[in-house]
């Protein structure tokens, strides 16, 4: 199934490393590969403008990555490398080594993210279409046969698994939600895909990055106009023309997807934000095919890197503020017996704290009922609805204790919920939900931990 590559990588690392080291290795690997693979891709276009690879730095620590969308983030890495691998080898005669390598890369992209697989296949088709256009002019279609054969071979296995994935999914009505044009434009102007925690603090620096990109675009247009006016345009070779067409249409394709695809289908979300992130790497590819003076590049890169490092410093400050919460929930998890069933209640207004409960299950097996990944069928672990038990709390069904709802199957085997983990201060329930407050204060419930951030009760 798709959307599994980071899960498998972490599972492998967890077989011989503690969780906090395993994730650090994954993150460091991503950071290195993101920069390296984009450099590899850009060098497939124009080595002379290799300095422009530094413009990719602000997009490494993107909002999707900081949210933990590791599969999508590694999918971008694979997209960069696969397109670069294709562009470096597609002009050669057909070889099985290239076809097998391309198949492996396309399949890995499938395991990372379906949207990125779709974009990758669009890029391959776009390059073939451009090659076909040039071949038709000289009536030599043998020039594109190897590309078509390699692309077909590489696509068969991933497309088969895509078909199986959707064929096995239960049919459900999707509710598509789209952002309006003004919001989408504002997100691009604000560079929303890299604003992670605090819009007020981060927006000035994200806009500086946008202004530099706009400045480079204006400079390239001015240079183009001057060359036209002074008749300094040089003839463009077919390979160079193909690169320009590919980069331009690739950027246009991503922009069209950004404006026309819905932001969510009721399950998967942040689609527009992710596509908005992809626009800028493809914009850098377009800029790499244009001429800039070295001082212009150095000044532009310096400004962008300065803004980037300020943003990274702000991300680090917020992470240091969050760390004590993560450390505390790790300590709370030591009070939970292995193989227990835990229900969770988030009493805070901070939506991403819903996911903090997952840290409780890092070092021992347990069932955490608010595991959102298991709800959607987009990830390696899903609920087994047929054998899911009939869960109760002191013989109370889900919803019978006010403010406390948990997953249950009335026709399943009876099983008690063992622990209640409250994120936030449980004292707040004395007013907002007095029935629940009386329940957790009763003699039947044992309070194991209580602080301003977490409370743990043995039921």
Please state, as a whole number, how many other Cβ atoms lie within 10 Å of the Cβ of residue 417. Answer: 23
Task: Give the integer Cα–Cα distance in Å for 400 and 394.
Answer: 11
Q: Is residue 325 part of a domain?
A: no
CA angle 439, 442, 447 (to 5 degrees): 95
Q: How far apart are CA 384 and CA 391, in angstroms?
A: 14
- SS3 state at 458: strand
CA distance 25 to 18: 11
On whether residue 331 sits in a domain, the answer given is no
**Are 291 and 375 in the same domain?**
no
Strands 454-458 and 446-450: antiparallel
pLDDT above 90 (res 269): no
CA distance 218 to 110: 37
Partners of residue 345 on adjacent β-strands: 422
Do 167 and 313 belong together in one domain?
A: yes
Task: Classify residue 17: in a domain, yes or no.
Answer: yes
Confidence (pLDDT) at 175: 74
The answer to whether residue 207 is domain-embedded is yes
**Final residue in a domain of this structure, among 319, 349, 367:** 319
Altogether, the residues listed in the chain come to a count of 459
pLDDT greater than 80 at residue 377? no
**Is pLDDT at 71 greater than 90 in this prediction?**
yes
Q: 419-423 and 414-416 as β-strands: parallel, antiparallel, unpaired? A: unpaired
Residues 175 and 227 in one domain: yes
Q: What confidence score (pLDDT) does residue 231 get?
A: 64
329 within some domain: no
| Among the listed residues 159, 154, 161, 92, the one whose alpha carbon sits nearest the alpha carbon of residue 124 | 154
Ramachandran class of 357: left when φ > 0, alpha when ψ lies in -120 to 50, beta otherwise = alpha
302 in a structural domain = yes
Number of domains in the chain: 2
With residue 391 as reference, give the H or E element that holds it.
Answer: strand 390-392
Question: Are both 96 and 156 inside the same structural domain?
Answer: yes
Same domain, residue pair 188 and 271: yes
Do 194 and 230 share a domain, yes or no? yes
Tell me which of 319, 353, 388 is where a domain ends.
Answer: 319
Residue 412 scores a pLDDT above 80: yes
Residues 48, 101 within the same domain: yes
C-alpha separations of 38 from 91, 106, 143, 207 in Å: 21, 17, 27, 22
Residue 412, C-beta contacts closer than 8 angstroms, at least 6 positions apart: 387, 388, 389, 390
Together in a domain, 210 and 286: yes
Nearest Cα residue to 308 out of 11, 62, 41: 62
Instruction: Provide the residue range defining the domain that includes 430.
Output: 336-458
Is the domain of 295 the same as that of 349? no
Residues of the chain with pLDDT > 90, as a percent, come to 49
Based on the domain organization, do 232 and 354 belong to the same domain? no
Q: Tell me, yes or no, whether 327 lies in a domain.
A: no
Instruction: Give the pLDDT confidence of 210-247 residue by residue, as tens digits.
Output: 999 999 999 988 887 777 776 666 666 767 788 889 99
Q: Are residues 270 and 389 in the same domain?
A: no
Q: Looking at 285, 319, 353, which one is the last position of a domain?
A: 319
Quick one: 300 and 234 in the same domain?
yes
Name the nearest CA neighbour of 96 among 154, 40, 157: 154
Taking phi first (over 0 means left), then psi (-120 to 50 degrees means alpha), and beta for anything else, what does residue 92 get?
beta
**How far apart, in whole angstroms, are the C-alpha atoms of residue 113 and residue 72?**
6
- Within a domain: 324: no
């Amino acid at each position: 199934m798709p959307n599994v590559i980071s899960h498998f990588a972490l599972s492998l690392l967890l077989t011989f490393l503690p969780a906090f080291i395993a994730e650090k290795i994954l993150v460091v690997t991503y950071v290195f590969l993101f920069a390296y693979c984009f450099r590899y891709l850009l060098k497939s276009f124009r080595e002379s403008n290799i300095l422009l690879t530094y413009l990719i730095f602000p997009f490494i620590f993107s909002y999707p990555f900081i949210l933990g969308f590791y599969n999508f983030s590694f999918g971008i890495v694979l997209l960069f490398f696969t397109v670069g691998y294709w562009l470096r080898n597609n002009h050669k005669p057909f070889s099985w080594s290239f076809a097998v390598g391309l198949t492996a890369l396309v399949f890995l992209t499938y395991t990372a993210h379906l949207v990125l697989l779709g974009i990758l296949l669009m890029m391959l088709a776009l390059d073939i279409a451009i090659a076909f256009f040039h071949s038709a002019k000289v009536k030599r279609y043998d020039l594109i046969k190897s590309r078509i054969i390699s692309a077909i071979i590489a696509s068969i296995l991933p497309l088969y698994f895509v078909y199986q994935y959707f064929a096995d999914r239960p049919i459900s009505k999707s509710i598509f939600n789209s952002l309006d044009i003004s919001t989408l434009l504002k997100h691009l102007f604000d560079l929303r895909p890299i604003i992670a925690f605090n819009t007020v603090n981060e927006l000035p620096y994200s806009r500086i990055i946008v202004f530099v990109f706009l400045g480079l675009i204006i400079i390239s247009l001015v240079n183009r106009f001057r060359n036209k006016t002074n008749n300094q345009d040089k003839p463009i070779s077919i390979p160079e023309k193909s690169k320009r067409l590919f980069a331009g249409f690739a950027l246009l394709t991503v922009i069209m997807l950004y404006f026309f695809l819905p932001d969510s289908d009721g399950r998967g979300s942040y689609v527009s934000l992710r596509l908005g992130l992809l626009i800028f790497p493809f914009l850098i590819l377009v800029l790499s095919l244009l001429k800039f003076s070295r001082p212009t590049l150095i000044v532009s890169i310096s400004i962008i890197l300065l803004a980037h490092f300020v943003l990274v410093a702000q991300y680090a400050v917020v992470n240091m503020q969050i760390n004590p919460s993560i450390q505390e929930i790790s300590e709370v998890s030591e009070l939970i017996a292995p193989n227990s069933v835990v229900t969770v209640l988030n009493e805070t207004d901070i939506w991403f704290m819903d996911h903090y409960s997952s840290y409780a299950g890092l070092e021992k097996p347990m069932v955490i009922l608010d595991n959102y990944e298991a709800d959607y069928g987009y990830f390696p672990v899903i609920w087994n609805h047929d054998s899911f038990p009939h869960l109760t709390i002191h013989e109370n069904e889900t919803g019978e204790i006010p403010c406390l709802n948990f997953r249950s199957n009335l026709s399943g085997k009876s099983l008690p919920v063992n622990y209640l983990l409250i994120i936030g201060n449980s004292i707040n329930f004395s007013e907002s939900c007095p029935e629940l407050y009386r329940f957790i204060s009763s003699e039947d419930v044992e309070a194991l931990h209580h602080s301003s951030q977490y409370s743990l009760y043995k039921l």
